Structure 1
Amino acid sequence: MLLIKRIESCRQYSSTVLSSILKSKKTSILPKHPSKGHANHVCEPAVTRFAPSPTGMLHLGSLRTALYNYLLAKKTDGKFILRIEDTDRSRLKDGAMDNIYNSLKWCNLKWDEGPYLQSERTDIYRKHINHLIETGRAYRCFCTIERLDDLRQSALRLVPPTNVSYDRHCAHLSEGEIKSKLDQGIPFTVRFKAPEKYPPFEDLLHGKIDLQPQQNPSDIRYDDPILMKSDNYPTYHLANVIDDHDMKISHVIRGEEWLPSTPKHIALYEAFGWKPPKFTHLPLLTTTEDKKLSKRRNDMSVMSLKEQGILPEALVNFSVLFGWSPPRELASKNHECFTLQEFENLFDLDSLTKGNAKVDMKKLWFFNKHFLGKKLEDPTFIDAVLPTIVKTIRDKYENVTELEEKVKTILIENGKVLSNINEFDTVFYYFFEKPNFESNEQSQEFLSKYDNKVASTILQYTRSILSEGSLTKDLVNDLSSKFNVPKKTIFQTLRFALAGSHPGAAVPVLFKVLGVSEAQERIANAIQILEHSL
């Protein structure tokens, strides 16, 4: 347990130092002039993987990573593998694994292999770690937490400070010293003996990248990452390299935060004598204020967005466009609205963008409105959402009769104005609430704008002849001729009576949903208000 805490302490230190490096104006881990001129068009079937850790709910950034890996595999008739990286046992969260599965299934991302659990592959990792120790490419480290903390603090005090701190003390232990410590049961980790200089590597998005540890010449430290923890579980560095090799992964598409680790991974491939896959590191997701999008925002998880009324088609469309640009002519024609199947045919690595992707929720709701409108053309979708809407309306308005048919009519006639199916009761409240003419701003505007006496006369006559199905365009034309007023005035007067002048559904739809009895009652109330205003 003590050694597990040691790893967590190392992680926090690395994160702090790396953050300072990334923020430095003098230091950039990306090339200022990335190599150009070579296409990233993938012709051979690509084998990709999505490898999340079940440490929380699946969020937008992870969904984008999953989508790009899925789409590349589909576009090239390749294979999409799901792997669960669950070796960091202290950070696992209950329900997180099911959340990953459910989120991917809800978004219609079907994996071809897996899910593979790294926790079930520990024998494989131990076999490979022993090979590295035997070949001198890795060594056991018995250092205590206190010693490692002292090394970290001393590294920070150097001028300039260094982002590597280990002094390879345990790399120089004799066989006898190692055996003695093992016999005593002293816990240990296994470190990789990193090369003095990492070779540059090619990123398919950013070009050639050369990342080296930040050294201080006066006090040389070593960038020897821990590969195996004291609980016999591998770290990400070891497990992901072994798994990617064993699963024949051809392309690794992951977040930009993994760029600093990539030289270590490539060095591990070299130590094993394996060919590394091709790497693509995706830009960060940021808010519209250009701040990094927090993974801890639960309202940005896939399942949370589902609960908010977001459709999977909208979320997929939204997420794919975080750093990938569709053909301009198609984007313009479709207002950037694409189905998952269309993305499968269009996606390629050449169209990835390098800049941070801003997450603008207004765009998500735009996509949601588009796809909701499409779904409302399908009677089976209306039947599926009907029970939930009916329950909400019934809980709110107890005395509504023939509710199912009314809701269905509203969805068919006016559902396309919705951005979110959960908004039904607030957007269409005027079907279920009688107008409050005194407090309604739109009603007051009508009363001040139109001749109240003429309006009252129109409504009285309409009420006297109103019957089932009688509120048609012909009736409106007759009323317009009879009272010598524009048809617009007739419609505005009827809207005032039936909905308090609330814009939205057409007057014939209002009458159809309300029915004769409710319409008669609302018209009578409106006449009283008009006569009182004379």
Structure 2
Amino acid sequence: MSYCKKIFYLSLYKYTVKRFFSSSATEFRGVRVRFAPSPTGHLHLGGLRTALYNYLFAKLHGGKFILRIEDTDQTRLVPDAVEKLENDLKWVGIIPDESPLKGGPYGPYKQSERLSLYRPRLDDWMMTKKNESYHCFCSDRRLDLLRREALRSRQIPRYDNRCRHLSESEVKEKLEEGKPSCIRFKLSSDEQTFDDAVYGRISYNIALNEGDPVIMKTDGFPTYHFANVVDDHLMNISHVLRGVEWQISTTKHIMLYRAFGWKPPIYAHLPLILNPDGSKLSKRQGDIRVENFRNEGIFPEALLNYVVDAGGGFSKDTERKSSKIYSTPELAQQFDLKAIKPSSCHLSPDRLTEFNSYALERKLQDEKEILKLTENVKTLVTRTFQSRMESENLQLQDKYIVSVLNWSKNRITTLNDLVKDELAFLWTVPSHQVLQNLAEDSNINVLQDIKVQLSTQQGTEFTKDHLKIILKDFSIKTQFPFNRLMKLLRHAVSGLKEGPGVAEMMEILGQTSTLSRLDRAITFLKTVKTKQ
């Protein structure tokens, strides 16, 4: 090997070694982010935004998105909440790389199943750093009295750090007596500073407003703050993207990281999403649950774009047109953490219906999506009109459903609109009760004549514009008032008093179905007249 090559490779080696030891662990372990909800209810828009932004950030950087369940508070658990949460995420297209159901190399992914990981680390830490934590023997009754007294004095409730000052002998004596205790972490009285990727430099002295926090409860379960830090460290989480309501706790978490000698992740806090009236979103709001939007017929892509439209976080170089909807991969490519504005953002419900219309239009341009839509409409129509299926034949042919979707795309905002009263005629025939009001000889004769007229038309001529001409000519030749003719045909074909134009209804129903409905009305009206 030449002298120059030796110098080159030696320099490269030194550079690599220097870079490895000087760089943060994040650069080498890659981007790893997590969504860590508590299984205490349904996934709502606020949680969806947090999950989505973590997911987009991971995909943008070729990283991993982890779902971790923080269930240390066993008193608030909701049965099947974890499965429902993963199903909601799956429905919107946010698929975790690691999760309780999927597993992964850093599992378990439920904190209640990770108890064996917390206590040993806490015990080792307490042995090596005795002055950073302590046993607290205060009863629930005493703590409750402290809270009441603080509220009575209009002060912020906080622990008074009483047990911090117990001597070693006092602690040992109480432990030997078997008195229950929790473990508290000693907060530093200094102001703590960290860089928030959204809000910039944050400085806060948490000890001014809080007492020393519990990190291990008397039941052996870690608290959120302790388990959160341990899990983020053990799972190699590189970035923490979470709601701004957690920002006040971040200094506490960073203190814990430093106490354990661990490097904290990069923090980015997401601004609040507010209701249109400026109020905060609440888990108790049924209308912000992902499940609720799904039941209302909102498409996953529409819901994601709705959240993104309210929350921001996209490069200024990308023009987000109001008439366009983006897929998840497209959103990931546009995502820019630096573009997130720290100010709170408001939801605009009108935008959701717009996005849903855009999503439908986009799906109708994709053959695979058309097949899915067709099956969804079949299920929806069958479920809605199931009671009528034995006596009346529902129109559920694939070709017909596709034509209905294309015809109605500018009329509806969700698929559920297709089975509302004003569009029920698309699937069902008018009831006998509606037809009975038409039992007049003149009506029967007109229906018979117009049926003959319509049956002579070629299939290609059975269009809205051509039908309008036929109906007007028929009215003139028979001297049957045009308005009355429209009312008669509307009732016979759809059973509606108002709605789309008669010619338009006939066109979407098709010639065969229109003639069949007219024939059905004629037969029924003749039967009624015979009985009179």
Q: TM-score range by the shorter chain?
A: 0.7 to 0.9
- Alignment of 1:405 with 2:397, yes or no, is yes
Residues 63-103 of structure 1: per-residue CA shift (max 9 Å, x gap): 11001101001001111111111111111111111111111
Alignment of 1:193 onto 2:186: yes
Q: In structure 2, the residue corresponding to 1:290 is in which secondary structure?
A: coil
Deviation at 1:192, TM superposition (A): 0.3
- CA distance in structure 1 between the aligned counterparts of 2:49 and 2:134, rounded to whole angstroms: 37
8 A contact 2:216–2:223 mirrored in 1: yes
Structure 1 counterpart SS, 2:516: helix
- Residue aligning to 2:103: none
Matched to 2:514, the amino acid is G
Distance of 1:501 and 1:456 partners within structure 2: 21
Task: State the match for 1:70 in structure 2.
Answer: 55
Task: Please say if residues 85 and 118 of structure 1, whose CA atoms lie closer than 8 Å, have aligned partners that are also in contact.
Answer: yes
Gaps of at least 5 residues in structure 1 are 1-41, 216-220, 440-452, 527-534
Asked if structure 1 preserves the Cα contact closer than 8 Å seen for 2:311 and 2:340, the reply is yes
- C-alpha spacing 1:389/1:166, structure 2 compared with 1 (3 Å): same
Identify the residue that residue 251 of structure 2 maps to in structure 1: 263
- Structure 1 residue aligned with 2:197: 204
1:151 aligned onto 2:150? no
Give the direction of change, closer, same or farther, for the CA distance of 1:437–1:280 in structure 2 (3 Å limit): same
Identity level (%) = 37
Check conservation: 2:310, 2:348, Cα contact below 8 A: no
Aligned partner of 2:117 among 120, 124, 146: 124
Secondary structure in 2 matching 1:234: coil
> Mean alpha-carbon deviation: is it higher for 356-365 or for 338-347?
356-365
Aligned counterparts, 1:69-218, within 5 A: 69-115=54-100, 116-134=109-127, 135=129, 136-156=131-151, 162-163=155-156, 165-213=158-206, 215=208
Q: Deviations over 1:368-414 (max 9, x none)?
A: 22223333454411442213313422425754325223962653442
User: CA shift at 1:213, angstroms?
Assistant: 3.8
Asked whether 1:282 is paired with 2:294, we answer no
Aligned partner of 2:416 in structure 1 is: 422
Answer whether contact 1:258 1:281 (CA < 8 A) is retained.
Answer: yes
Residues 382, 411 of structure 1: 8 Å contact kept:
no
TM-score w.r.t. length of structure 2: 0.77
Counterpart-to-counterpart distance in 2, 1:154 and 1:483: 86
- Quote how far apart the aligned CAs of 1:514 are: 3.1
Match of 1:380 among 371, 383, 396: 371
Q: 1:129 to 1:280 in 2, by over 3 A?
A: same
Q: Distance in 2 between matches of 1:342 and 1:128?
A: 42
Name the structure 2 match of 1:365: 353
CA distance in 2, matches of 1:277, 1:352: 19
Which consecutive unaligned segments of at least 5 residues does structure 2 have? 1-25, 101-108, 436-441, 526-532
SS at match of 2:218: coil
Aligned to 2:22: none
SS of residue matched to 1:84: coil
TM-fit CA distance, 1:285: 2.2
The residue type paired with residue 517 of structure 1 is S
Q: Distance in 2 between matches of 1:145 and 1:391?
A: 53
TM-score w.r.t. length of structure 1 = 0.76
Please give the alpha-carbon distance, in whole angstroms, between the structure 2 residues aligned to 1:224 and 1:214. 8
